[in-house]
Amino acid sequence: MTAYTLITGIDIYTPHNLIPAGVVAVRDGKIAFVGTKTGARRVVSGPGLTTLDFKGHIAVPGFIDIHVHGGGGADFMDGTPDAAANVLETHLKKGTTSAVPTVMTASEDDIVRAISAVLELRKAGKPLPEVLGLHLEGPFISRDKYGAQPEKYIRPFDVGTLSAFIKAAKGTVRHVTLAPEIPKAGALVRYLKRKAIIAAAGHSNATFGQAIKGLKAGISHGTHLFNAMSGLFHRDPGLAGALLMDDAVSVELIADGIHVHPAVLRLVTRVKPLEKIVLVTDATRRTGLSQVPPRTAEGKLYGSAITLDIALRNMVDWTGLPLTDILPMVTSNPACLMGAGNKKGALRKGADADIVILDRRLRVKAVFLKGKRI
């Protein structure tokens, strides 16, 4: 059994509560204690104690990105373990300690190749964010709202194709983005529910009525709210309106100020329960090299070029809400959505010691992955 590592001199955001001048004790990759220095003395003892003082800094749970495509010049669709590792390393440096790699619409062979490359990461032998599962963004989406997805690979839903992807992923598919207005959408949603996979609405031109029908069938999540979906219009609230109005449904937001206007981001925090908002990057291979989001030849946005620390800072600045309100959107909210709330997304005893140290401007200064400093 290893000795304790004590992280001191920090204000701790758990994320919902603040512990001023707190202490986090780590042992065997887990959090052994969170609290005051006085309390730590009663719990932490033994030879070989290591103390790391981050006086004047903030400790928060590791960030969790449930919608990410690329970074560092690589993309999961490159279909190699090296490319997948490059993506995850890029985001780890900025505090993302867990991720859900996103596989986009493509040929069946390319989708399976990308899935296999992520599964091969288990043999990488290097510190990487924990993969909490896979996100299939398509191919059962709308030809009217495909965004930057390759239109030629969009296909009608059939059980055989989807089951082949799920089989290739060896049970790791966590959510699937689909358009609720496509033929057999109800059957697709019900199939996903039987498999305990989240049905997410996105890349859709659904009317409000079609969207409500999809929600009643079991859609429980919205992929990058407002982007590549029918918008909120006073004569037809569209998919965006349906997602906003259902308090039981979670939604993703890309908080780069380009995909969604800061005023609209602020509006969503007033309409949706805060625990149902998840900040995502939808990051592309450009992430880590530039903060300018790429565009297709037609001028369509092609994902973002941000990391979650940037999204966090932006949301705090633009909404005026306290850090205890915004921080769960990159920690406990995605952890619970992915079924990992028992070990991720919070600084509490027994959780994985995924810890990010921030300065007072919320810039990343240190990252601990299961207790080891990266």
- Cα(171)–Cα(323) distance, integer angstroms: 35
Phi/psi of residue 201, each to 5°?
-90, 130
Q: In terms of C-beta density within 10 A (0-12 exposed, 13-18 middle, 19 or more buried), how is residue 119 classed? A: middle
Strand 18-27 with 30-36, pairing: antiparallel
118/359 Cα distance (integer angstroms): 32
Confirm whether 282 is a catalytic residue.
yes
Of 256, 282, 309, 325, the active-site residue reads 282
Q: Which residues form the catalytic set?
A: 282
